[in-house]
């Protein structure tokens, strides 16, 4: 075996190990220990935290609408926590998915089986139906199996959809090529709340699913458009992390713009991905480096995002 071949094999093994350990991590998570924390955001809007993405909930006399549903084993606890708020005994009428990832759609099947109607962007249904690889086009890679039929959204939309319930026009709007190619941001205008899905997260450098049509540029655009239109005191539910405000969103957008500009400059100077990593071009933003997306993984993300490599965009109907 020559040196190049051996190196290729070692890389392949290393990549598989990373993939397996991430998958194993998700499977081994002990959901029996997870407690659902409920926070009143404003009026009749609540935020639920457990494991996976934050849930936004409109709870009122017409029933309950939730945005995202974490993981299947938590569905009963989520339903119990909603009942515990003490406003209604009614089950969840509608579930809106912000995007297709399993930590936001894992509860789709049990909620649907219990009578909820699932709503999401066209590409959420497509990606759930087919399964496929999520990743940053580099070291982060996760395999998704095709979802069960009962987990697929029944109502899908291309641009936006509005659910009129509890005296509010709850609007889900699609923003293209952000965290994935099927993201929606959900607005609760009467209560002055917005759920940003994973276009806005608080865990450091964001995971951008470039392999599923996501891009840093799309997230920046979505954040700039929404911050320009939303009231200054809007309450922001992030995809992951603590309840936020527009200043938090602006700081996050600034980081994305600055780091994108640095990688773009390196691309213009014809630097390779390895050179960018070796030169630690994102060192000034090191505090955003996390366990999930470290600085090198974020350089890969921006590199692939800006060059259009590794992206795979699903055409709309
Ligand atoms: Zn996600």
Asked if residue 61 lies in contact with residue 44, where contact means CB atoms within 8 angstroms, the answer is no
Angle at CA of residue 99, ends 95 and 100, nearest 5° = 95
Quick one: average pLDDT of 152-163?
Answer: 98
| CA 205 / ligand 1 centre spacing (Å) | 13
Mean pLDDT computed over every residue of the chain: 90
Quick one: average pLDDT of 136-145?
Answer: 93
- pLDDT confidence tier of residue 308, bands split at 50, 70 and 90: confident
| CA 134 / ligand 1 centre spacing (Å) | 9
pTM over 0.85: yes
Q: How far is residue 59's CA from residue 92's CA, in Å, rounded to a whole number? A: 9
Residue 14 belongs to some domain of the structure? no
Task: Say whether 92 sits in a helix, a strand or coil.
Answer: strand
Residue-level pLDDT at 26? 54
Q: For the ranges 3-7, 105-109, 166-170, 228-232, which has the lowest average pLDDT?
A: 3-7
| CA 147 / ligand 1 centre spacing (Å) | 16
Residue 312 belongs to some domain of the structure? no
Residue 19 belongs to some domain of the structure? no
| CA 309 / ligand 1 centre spacing (Å) | 20
Q: What is the pLDDT of residues 235-259, one digit of tens each?
A: 999 999 999 999 999 999 999 999 9
| CA 7 / ligand 1 centre spacing (Å) | 32
pLDDT at 7 over 90: no
| CA 200 / ligand 1 centre spacing (Å) | 10
Residue 24 belongs to some domain of the structure? no
Q: How far is residue 198's CA from residue 104's CA, in Å, rounded to a whole number? A: 9
Asked if residue 239 lies in contact with residue 184, where contact means CB atoms within 8 angstroms, the answer is no
Residue 5 belongs to some domain of the structure? no
| CA 101 / ligand 1 centre spacing (Å) | 5
| CA 162 / ligand 1 centre spacing (Å) | 22
Among residues 172, 194, 169, which one has the least CA distance to residue 118?
172
Residue 4 belongs to some domain of the structure? no
| CA 191 / ligand 1 centre spacing (Å) | 25
| CA 88 / ligand 1 centre spacing (Å) | 30
Among residues 290, 235, 298, 238, which one has the least CA distance to residue 262?
298
Residue 219 belongs to some domain of the structure? yes
| CA 98 / ligand 1 centre spacing (Å) | 9
| CA 99 / ligand 1 centre spacing (Å) | 7
| CA 108 / ligand 1 centre spacing (Å) | 15
Residue 171 belongs to some domain of the structure? yes
| CA 193 / ligand 1 centre spacing (Å) | 20
pLDDT at 22 over 60: no
| CA 192 / ligand 1 centre spacing (Å) | 24
Q: Residue 237: which domain range?
A: 34-307
- State the CATH number of the domain containing residue 191: 3.60.15.10
| CA 197 / ligand 1 centre spacing (Å) | 8
Domain count, the chain: 1
């Amino acid at each position: 075996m020559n040196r190049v071949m051996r190196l290729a094999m070692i890389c392949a093994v290393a990549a598989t190990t990373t993939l397996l350990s991430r998958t194993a991590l998700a499977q081994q998570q002990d959901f029996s220990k997870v407690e659902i924390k409920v926070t009143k955001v404003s009026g009749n809007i609540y935020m639920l935290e457990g494991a996976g993405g934050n849930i936004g909930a409109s709870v009122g006399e017409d029933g309950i609408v939730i945005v995202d549903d974490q993981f299947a084993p938590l569905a009963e606890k989520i339903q119990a926590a909603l009942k515990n708020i003490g406003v209604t005994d009614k089950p969840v009428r509608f579930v809106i998915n912000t995007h297709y990832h399993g930590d936001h759609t894992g509860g789709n099947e049990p909620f649907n089986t219990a009578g909820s109607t699932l709503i999401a962007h066209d590409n959420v249904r497509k990606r759930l139906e087919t399964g496929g690889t999520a990743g940053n086009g580099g070291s982060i890679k996760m395999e998704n199996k095709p979802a069960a039929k009962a987990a697929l959204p029944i109502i899908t939309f291309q641009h936006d959809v509005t659910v009129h319930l509890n005296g509010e026009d709850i609007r889900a709007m699609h923003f293209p090529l952000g965290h994935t190619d099927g993201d929606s941001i959900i607005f609760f205008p009467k209560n002055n709340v917005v759920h940003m899905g994973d276009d806005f997260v608080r865990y450091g450098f964001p995971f951008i699913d470039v392999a599923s049509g996501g891009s840093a540029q799309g997230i920046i655009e979505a954040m700039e458009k929404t911050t320009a239109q939303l009231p200054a005191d809007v309450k922001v539910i992030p995809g992951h992390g603590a309840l936020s405000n527009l200043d938090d969103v602006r700081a996050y957008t600034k980081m994305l713009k600055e780091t994108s500009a640095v990688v773009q400059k390196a691309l213009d100077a014809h630097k390779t991905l390895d050179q960018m990593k070796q030169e630690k071009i994102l060192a000034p933003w090191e505090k955003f480096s996390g366990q999930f997306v470290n600085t090198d993984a974020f350089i890969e993300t921006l590199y692939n995002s800006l060059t259009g490599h590794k992206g795979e965009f699903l055409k709309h109907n």
